[in-house]
Amino acid sequence: MTLIMEWTEGQPIYRQLRDLVIQRVMDGSFPEGEAIPSVRQVATDYRINHLTVGRAYQELVEMGLLEKRRGLGMFVASGARNSLTNDEQQRFLDEELPAFVARVRVLGLVMEEVSEQLMTMQGNVNADHH
C-alpha cells in the first residue's frame, strides 16, 4: 500500500483506509488469495494508530473480503472482487443511476441524446482497451 494518503476530515480514518483496501481489491492491486500489508506495516507507513488499521481490517473481515490466517496475517478472500463488483453494480443501479436520470431531467436533456452519447463513449472506451 505504498502510496501517499491524504486523510480527509469528513470521514473517520479507518473508513478511508477500508475504502482504500476495497479499491485495491477491485483494481486487482490486492489479488484474491494474496496477503495484504500487516497492521503494523500500514500503521508505520501511514503514521496512524495500529488500532485504527485493525478496525478497518476487522470491518473487511466482517464483510467477507479479508480473512485472517493465524500466524500468517490477512489475506484477500476468494470471491472478494466479484462480491465487490456485484455490490458496486447494485449500488450504481440503486443510487447513482436514479440521481443521473434526475439530473438529466433537471437539465432538460433528451434521454435519447444522452443514450447516444453514452453509447459513443462506451464505444470509445472499448476501442481504447483493444
Q: What is the pLDDT of residues 64-98, one digit of tens each?
A: 999 999 999 999 999 999 999 998 899 899 999 99
Q: How confident is the model at residue 6 (pLDDT cuts 50, 70, 90)?
A: confident
By C-alpha distance, which of 85, 70, 93, 74 is closest to 22? Answer: 85
pLDDT at residue 70, as a whole number: 94
Q: Angle formed by the axes of helices 97-107 and 111-128, to 10°?
A: 130
The neighbour count for residue 29, using CB atoms within 10 Å, is 15
Report the C-alpha gap between 112 and 39 in whole angstroms.
Answer: 50
Over range 16-36, report the average pLDDT: 95
* Amino acid code (one letter) for 29: S
Of residues 52, 31, 29, the one with CA closest to residue 40: 52
Which one is predicted more confidently, 127 or 109?
109
Q: What is the pTM for the complete model shown?
A: 0.72
d(CA 72, CA 97): 41
pLDDT bin (cut points 50, 70, 90) of residue 43 is: very high
